[in-house]
Structure 1
């Protein structure tokens, strides 16, 4: 289980949500609850696609102090 910060963008049409740490990952909903549920699905789909894209790549992890 991982946690991601999400940014809510409220408009007259509803709420869009983006994930700053996952470029291009966003969703929307008519209510905050719907938007947050939708972004959870979008994050899962994003991570599955990323895993598939990196399947044959040589990948390393680095630690960064912030």
Structure 2
């Protein structure tokens, strides 16, 4: 279950990061979020990046302790 949450976190974080870089560098939408929501605000992309990074980094941080227990 932790691995699944970690993978979903990475996907959300990457989607958010792609959206932020698209807005900052080219003033256009990048990724898949804009196909679901017409012209999402930049703050939504930032929230996606942060919400996705939290479980991804948490999973990476606990990975070493999981491997030591096994």
TM range (shorter): 0.3 to 0.5
> What TM-score do you get using the length of structure 1 for normalisation?
0.41
> What TM-score do you get using the length of structure 2 for normalisation?
0.39
Q: Which has the higher relative contact order, 1 or 2, with Cα contacts under 8 A spaced 6 or more apart? A: 2
